[in-house]
């Protein structure tokens, strides 16, 4: 029989109970003197010893431990039994613990020293305590045969007969709840993600080995989510515990579970660094992972606020050890785009929870990267517009400021679209993306206001009285023909427009003393009689929707004063834009006209919900980008390069 004796150093001869011809005994000596009072240091030493002697232990039919230990070394012999039982390689080995004190005294000694829970293992199958004067060769042989019969083989039996009967205390106060969550959380994330755990160093404490024992092999299937992102990523990670496996774990997950074609690089910091401000403001990062509690006592929500002030659309995922609802609300209120709950050991027995927690983290990253991919370029281009804008405010106007405000409103509504629920769209008949589109469209109103000089229409009666507006139902002396009314383009000096006059009006004023001009309503009727150089062909019969009329200024049937897309087309033509922008303008105007918020007067439909669904415009994100290209060109004078 192969026996391994584990004993204290400096014991020379074998005990008599091992002196038998049928016994092949190998000795492992315990180093009991360690200048430390930490569980981690003693447990690490024991784990190293087991790894060093793995071959000897694996070949053993019986393990005898002849050293119990005491308060000075945290009862090292008893702790060793736990390490053996919590190791998959040695959990089926019968173990005999022997010492010079009886069992009751052993329990008393451990209890007085605060380690009473350690003796619980002596009541489990496959382990027995015998005093040295009780042991002899025959008894040892008998015990080895009997003990091995009782050792649980199946995972379920091991769980019920051993793990659930044990009480393993959490690591000492120097780690605390937050520290435990960090070390356990990083390991658990790697495990659930299906990463090679050989790449990770985790604390070799009894507590962690105990937690790992609860994984049911039948149910412990790693997450099967696949990569989805196809570009390189640079991620900022701020966490004072990043070195406890988190940085490596996240980098492997990002490169194996998130990115399908590219590489993720994580920039780790243990605390907030003011030197990061420039990189954040200049959009050097694709995503931020931020721990809520940091060692410098600066809470993550304050750092989150600082980040969002610098770059409001940079996605930030908060790491927290708490899953309390009010904490989550607080994070979202501060601008967080998502969160991940670092697993605490209390969830170790629930593998399903761990998988669901990781899958939700995977979805959160997906959501945040998509959000950032859409929003971050817009913010960059909005900043460019502000620095390049060619518009000059007319006297008494603040058009540039209004344009900047509306562009930020557009960006905010796009951001909000990622937070909108299907319930809102179905129940309240609106879409934040549609609102964003309409807000961006309204910028065109500001642009035409800046680029056109408009002469007011003034009506003069026979007595020389002027009327800017008139009430058709009130009889006044018949006025003379009104003055001519012009819209004249005023582009910046850097442009050379071909035509300045957009539209000329020669209104014809009709008066009927009977009070029923044409339509039978009112005394007055005005025929605007407009003329323009702009030619608009909504059917695109000549390969373009907008052009300058080759016949020169001609009478037009439409009141161009009320048609925004024609006004914008006239500006674009004079700025020598690409034909593609004009084609987009026509199509985007059609999109605007389909949105129910601008044309909601069809009362013939009884199914309001069906109407709303029919008005939904596909690929609205793409159309927003096309519309932004037009706005960018009009405000900066150059093409938008994404």
CA atoms of 114 and 117, how far apart (whole Å): 8
Q: Please report the beta strands in 247-297, taking only residues with DSSP state E, as ranges in sequence order.
A: 264-269, 287-291
Look-up: residue for tokens 């009072």? 37
Of residues 231 and 444, more confidence is placed in 444
Percent of the chain with pLDDT strictly greater than 90: 45
Name every residue whose Cβ is closer than 8 Å to that of residue 445 and which is 6 or more positions away in sequence. 564
- H helices present in 350-398, as ranges: 351-388
Greatest extent of the chain over all pairs of C-alpha atoms, in Å: 139
With residue 554 as reference, give the H or E element that holds it.
strand 554-555
- The region that residue 406 occupies, defined by phi over 0 for left and psi between -120 and 50 for alpha, beta otherwise, is alpha
CA atoms of 255 and 91, how far apart (whole Å): 36
Most confident of 32-41, 475-484, 541-550: 541-550
Average pLDDT of span 62-67: 93
CA atoms of 53 and 47, how far apart (whole Å): 10
CA atoms of 336 and 431, how far apart (whole Å): 22
- Give Rg (Cα) of the chain: 40
With residue 300 as reference, give the H or E element that holds it.
helix 300-310
202 φ, ψ to 5°?
Answer: -125, 155
CATH architecture of 176-377: 3-Layer(aba) Sandwich (3.40)
Task: Tell how strand 466-467 and strand 459-460 pair up.
Answer: antiparallel
pLDDT range class, residue 154, cuts 50, 70, 90: confident
pTM flag (> 0.85): no
Name every residue whose Cβ is closer than 8 Å to that of residue 493 and which is 6 or more positions away in sequence. none
The model's pLDDT over 494-520, given as tens digits with 9 standing for 90+, comes to: 888 899 999 887 766 666 766 666 666
Distance of CA 426 to the CA centre of its chain: 25
Domain boundaries, the chain: 2-165, 176-377, 452-465+483-511+526-636
Select from 344, 334, 326, 329 the least CA-distant residue to 288: 334
3 state SS of 393: coil
3 state SS of 317: strand
| Token pair of 581 as six digits | 């922008």
3 state SS of 600: coil
The model's pLDDT over 351-400, given as tens digits with 9 standing for 90+, comes to: 888 899 999 999 999 999 999 999 999 999 999 999 999 998 888 789 99
The model's pLDDT over 591-626, given as tens digits with 9 standing for 90+, comes to: 998 885 544 444 444 554 555 555 567 789 999 999
CA atoms of 426 and 314, how far apart (whole Å): 29
Query: Is residue 441 pLDDT above 50, yes or no?
Result: yes
Average pLDDT of span 190-210: 82
CA atoms of 518 and 331, how far apart (whole Å): 65
CATH architecture of 2-165: 3-Layer(aba) Sandwich (3.40)
Average pLDDT of span 515-535: 72
How does DSSP classify residue 563? Answer: -
- The region that residue 351 occupies, defined by phi over 0 for left and psi between -120 and 50 for alpha, beta otherwise, is alpha
How does DSSP classify residue 200? Answer: -
Domains 2-165 and 176-377 share a fold: yes
Average pLDDT across the chain, whole number? 85
Query: Is residue 577 pLDDT above 80, yes or no?
Result: yes
Of residues 314 and 593, more confidence is placed in 314
Q: For position 472, what pLDDT does the model report?
A: 55
The model's pLDDT over 208-258, given as tens digits with 9 standing for 90+, comes to: 888 888 876 556 677 777 888 888 999 999 999 898 889 999 999 999 889
Average pLDDT of span 34-58: 83
Average pLDDT of span 62-72: 90
| Token pair of 324 as six digits | 């309390």
CA atoms of 530 and 555, how far apart (whole Å): 6
Task: Report long-range pairs for 398-403 (Cβ below 8 Å, ≥24 apart).
Answer: 399/446, 399/449, 399/450, 402/446, 403/443, 403/446, 403/447, 403/635
On whether the CB atoms of residues 39 and 74 are closer than 8 A, the answer is yes
Average pLDDT of span 82-101: 92
């Amino acid at each position: 029989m192969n026996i391994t004796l584990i004993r204290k150093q400096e014991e020379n001869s074998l005990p008599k109970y091992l002196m038998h011809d049928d016994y092949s005994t190998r000795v492992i000596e315990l180093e009991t003197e360690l200048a430390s009072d930490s569980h981690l240091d003693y447990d690490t030493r024991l784990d190293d010893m087991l790894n060093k002697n793995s071959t000897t232990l694996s070949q053993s039919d019986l393990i005898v431990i002849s050293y119990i230990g005491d308060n000075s070394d945290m009862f090292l012999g008893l702790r060793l039994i736990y390490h053996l039982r919590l190791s998959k390689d040695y959990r089926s080995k019968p173990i005999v613990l022997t010492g010079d004190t009886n069992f009751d005294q052993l329990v008393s000694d451990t209890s007085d020293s605060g380690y009473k829970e350690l003796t619980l293992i002596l009541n489990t199958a496959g382990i027995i305590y015998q005093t040295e004067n009780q042991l002899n060769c025959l008894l040892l042989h008998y015990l080895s045969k009997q003990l091995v019969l009782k050792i649980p083989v199946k995972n379920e039996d091991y769980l019920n007969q051993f793990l659930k009967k044990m009480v393993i205390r959490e690591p000492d106060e120097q780690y605390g709840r937050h520290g435990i969550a960090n070390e356990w959380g990083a390991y658990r994330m790697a495990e659930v993600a299906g990463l090679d755990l050989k790449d990770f160093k985790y604390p070799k404490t009894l507590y962690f080995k105990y937690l790992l024992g609860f994984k049911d092999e039948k149910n412990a299937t790693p997450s099967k989510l696949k990569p989805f992102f196809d570009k390189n990523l640079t991620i900022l990670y701020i966490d004072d515990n990043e070195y406890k496996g988190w940085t490596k774990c996240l980098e492997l997950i990002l490169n194996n579970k998130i990115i399908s074609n590219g590489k993720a690089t994580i920039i780790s910091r243990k605390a907030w660094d003011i030197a990061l401000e420039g990189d954040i403001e200049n959009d050097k990062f694709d995503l931020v992972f931020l721990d809520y509690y940091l060692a410098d006592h600066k809470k993550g929500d304050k750092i989150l606020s600082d980040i969002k002030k610098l770059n409001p659309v940079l996605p930030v995922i908060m790491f927290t050890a708490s899953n309390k609802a009010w904490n989550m609300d607080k994070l979202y209120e501060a601008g967080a785009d998502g969160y991940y709950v670092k697993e605490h050991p209390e969830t170790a027995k629930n593998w399903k929870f761990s998988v669901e927690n990781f899958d939700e983290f995977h979805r959160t990253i997906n959501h945040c990267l998509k959000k950032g991919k859409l929003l971050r370029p817009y913010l960059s281009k909005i900043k460019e517009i502000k620095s390049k804008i060619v518009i000059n405010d007319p006297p008494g106007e603040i058009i540039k400021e209004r344009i900047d405000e509306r562009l930020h409103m557009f960006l905010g509504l796009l951001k909000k679209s990622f937070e909108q629920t299907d319930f809102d769209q179905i129940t309240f008949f609106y879409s934040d993306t549609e609102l964003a589109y309409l807000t961006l469209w309204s910028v065109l109103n500001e642009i035409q206001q800046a680029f056109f000089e408009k002469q007011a229409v003034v009506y003069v009666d026979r007595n020389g009285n002027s009327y800017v507006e008139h009430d058709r139902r009130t009889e006044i002396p018949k006025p003379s023909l009104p003055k001519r009314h012009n819209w004249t383009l005023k582009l910046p000096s850097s442009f050379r427009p071909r035509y300045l006059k957009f539209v000329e009006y020669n209104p014809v004023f009709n008066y009927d003393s009977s009070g029923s001009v044409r339509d039978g309503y009112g005394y007055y009727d005005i025929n605007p009689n407009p003329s323009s150089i702009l030619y608009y062909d909504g059917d695109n019969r000549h390969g373009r929707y907008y052009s300058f009329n080759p016949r020169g200024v001609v009478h037009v049937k439409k009141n161009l004063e009320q048609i925004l897309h024609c006004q914008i087309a006239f500006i674009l033509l004079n700025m020598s834009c690409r034909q593609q922008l004009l084609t987009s303008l026509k199509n985007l105007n059609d999109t605007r006209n389909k949105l129910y918020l601008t044309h909601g007067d069809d009362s013939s439909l009884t199914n309001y919900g069906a109407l709303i669904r029919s008005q939904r415009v596909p690929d609205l994100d793409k159309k927003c980008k096309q519309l932004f290209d037009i706005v960018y060109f009009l405000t900066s004078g150059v093409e938008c390069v994404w």
